[in-house]
């Protein structure tokens, strides 16, 4: 987990630098609290894969997801034209998903990717995602240096921890409102 977290910080630095900012600009949001998460997913053989999903379509609420997907197909990403595209497994590489946190930080220069997992009728599948998340106390908003009178912030500030809590709560029970997404914090500009 330490090695993958180090990779996550390196990727974060490169992405922040690509926005014209100092590479360590967002470090303080991730260093002071250990909220990142490593998980092992198991998708058993499914006799009727057309009737089930391993994980329904969603966007990751985190900054980055670093995924070791193994050698069995299952991950699909949604293209801009709405098609689901299979991500071919490469057991010697990670899949990197940009999440909601980077979309907000970058004021939409980076986009969170919608994806899902389909099951297989012949072979079980394992995947190992690492979810790189900021500290719960972070006020999430576009990085101020990326906004101006010509490029207004596209998101109002919100508490990361409260957002995460409500989003997880809505994953497991009906709260009587749509599941919380970053679009709920979008400003009409």
Report yes or no: 32 and 71 within 8 Å, Cβ to Cβ. Answer: no
Instruction: Return the pLDDT at 184.
Output: 81
Weakly modelled stretches of the chain, pLDDT under 70:
32-33, 170-179, 189
Instruction: Return the pLDDT at 51.
Output: 87
What are the pLDDT digits (tens) for 79-98? 999 999 999 999 899 999 99
Distance of CA 93 to the CA centre of its chain: 18
Instruction: Return the pLDDT at 177.
Output: 62
**What is the secondary structure of 8-35 as a DSSP string?**
HHHHHHHHHHHTTS-TTTTTHHHHS---
**pTM for this entry:** 0.90
Q: What number of other Cβ atoms are within 10 A of residue 105's Cβ? A: 26
Burial class of 7 by CB neighbour count within 10 A (0 to 12, 13 to 18, 19+): middle
Report yes or no: 59 and 112 within 8 Å, Cβ to Cβ. Answer: yes
DSSP label of 155:
B
The SS3 of residue 10 is: helix
What are the pLDDT digits (tens) for 104-132? 999 999 999 999 999 999 999 999 999 99
Instruction: Return the pLDDT at 189.
Output: 62
- Positive or negative torsion for Cα 57, 62, 64, 69: negative
Furthest-apart CA atoms within the chain: distance in Å: 56
């Amino acid at each position: 987990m330490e090695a993958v977290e180090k990779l996550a910080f390196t990727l974060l630095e490169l992405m922040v630098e690509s926005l014209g900012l100092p590479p360590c600009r967002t470090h303080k949001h991730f260093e002071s609290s250990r909220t990142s998460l490593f998980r092992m997913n198991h998708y058993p053989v499914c006799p009727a894969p057309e009737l089930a999903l391993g994980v329904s379509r969603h966007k990751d609420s985190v900054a980055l997801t670093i995924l070791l997907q193994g050698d069995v197909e299952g991950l699909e990403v949604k293209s801009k034209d709405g098609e689901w595209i299979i991500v071919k497994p490469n057991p010697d590489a990670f899949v990197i998903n940009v999440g909601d946190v980077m979309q907000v930080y970058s004021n939409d220069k980076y986009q969170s990717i919608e994806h899902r997992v389909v099951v297989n009728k012949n072979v079980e599948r394992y995947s190992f995602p690492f979810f790189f998340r900021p500290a719960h106390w972070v006020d999430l908003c576009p990085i101020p240096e990326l906004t101006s009178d010509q490029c207004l912030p596209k998101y109002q500030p919100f508490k990361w921890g409260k957002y995460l809590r409500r989003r997880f709560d809505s994953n497991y029970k009906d709260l009587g409102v749509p599941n919380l997404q970053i679009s709920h914090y979008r400003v009409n500009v």
